[in-house]
Amino acid sequence: MLELYLIKNPYVFLGVNGSREKTDLSVVGVPFDSTNSFRPGSRFAPATIRLVSQSLETYSFRSGIALEDNPPVDEGDIAVVHGSAELSLRNIAVVSDELFSSGRRVGFLGGEHTITYGIVEGLVKALGRSLCVLVFDAHLDYRSEYLGYKLSHACVTRRVSEVVGTNNVLVAGFRAVDKKEFKEAKTSGLTLINSYEALRSTTRELSLKINDFIKNCENLYISIDMDVIDPAYAPGVATPEPEGITPTTLLDVLTRIPKDKVVGFDIVEVNPLSDYGNVTSFTAAKIAIELFTHLTRQ
Annotated binding site: 113, 137, 139, 141, 225, 227
Residues 27 and 41: their CA atoms lie apart, in Å, by 20
Q: Are the C-beta atoms of residues 289 and 53 closer than 8 Å to each other?
A: yes
CA dihedral 181, 137, 115, 10 (to 10 degrees): 160
Torsion, Cα 212 216 218 221, to 10 degrees, reads -40
Instruction: Give the CA dihedral 133, 137, 142, 148, nearest 10 degrees.
Output: -120
CB atoms within 10 A of CB 146: 18
Q: How is the beta sheet containing 262-268 ordered, strand by strand?
A: 6-7, 73-78, 25-30, 105-110, 262-268, 220-225, 132-136, 169-174, 191-194
Are 190 and 166 in contact, with CB atoms under 8 Å apart?
yes
**Residues contributing to the annotated binding site for Mn(2+):** 113, 137, 139, 141, 225, 227
Adjacent-strand bridge partners of 27: 74, 107
